Structure 1
Amino acid sequence: MSFISSGGGRDRRRTVTLIKDALRELRNQLSLLNHQVSRRLELKDVDLDCLELVHRHGPVTPGELARLAGLHPATLTGVLDRLQRAGWVARERDPNAADRRAVWVHALKDRNAELFGLYSGMNRSLDELFEGYGEAELAVVADFLRRATALGRAATEELAQE
């Protein structure tokens, strides 16, 4: 499935437009997938987003998690309360902090299988898709995704400062 052309400016613009359209559609499909996972786990979408961030970056402080999620600290408190009540995360006091209120948030491993199981269909499908690409092609895709993610992060930070 190759829609990359070797032609001039018009072909390149068409290809770039196809890629941008595909990225928007991928974003929509992943959002819908995450919404279904949230629904199955009886979480709000933002709760699942924060849980993913804790899995990826944790343990983290609530302040750091609020920054990563782009949420107001008071909003994050509600998210953490829900995640803790549901058995997804724990907040533990930092014994080395001067401020006794300092805590770390970490994901609890007990429910990982439940969470990862809901993504197993997508993960299997991605593994099958990857089989159709060579190592060099996968390296280009990985590089593109890393760089596109960095651009998205920069655009988000720019909008957040306005």
Structure 2
Amino acid sequence: MTMREVVIRYVEPIEVLSVDHVGPYMQISKAFDALFGWLAQHNLLAAEMRMIGIFFDDPDVVDENALRSKAGVSLPHPLQVAVTVSPPVSVAHVKGGEYAVLRHKGPYSDLPAAYEWLYGTWLVQSGREAADAPVLEEYLNSPKETAPADLVTEICLPLV
């Protein structure tokens, strides 16, 4: 059995450069590829960038081909004035507040089970309530440099 622990953390508001994705959540890597291509073209790649996925829909309710998400990065410095954000990139704003944070280690294909536990077990037993805001995933390492079993993802569930 997988051991899971949730930490309640205050998350500061975040400004994110993002690319929209519609379709199966497991295919968001296409949007990340487009985002990183744009960042490279504008000389904005930085080692300190935080990679963030923003997920708007419940895959148990919305058809997987209609799921809405954003592939994003939070830059370590304010966006340079000389750079104009242009399609397919836009600026998204993530609200600050209390989040239930579940650290998941393992392949992205195991994330649905982590979500099931977070919503179906932890949230039900916690006495807390999910806010009407998107869930975030922060990717703490890269699938291009890390074996799937060693990937670390923080699932951040906004709370009321």
Q: TM-score, normalised by structure 2?
A: 0.22
Rg comparison, structure with higher value: 1
Please state which structure has a larger fraction of its residues in strand.
2
Select the structure that is richer in helix. Answer: 1
**Larger RCO (CA under 8 A, 6+ residues apart):** 2
- TM-score after normalising by structure 1: 0.22
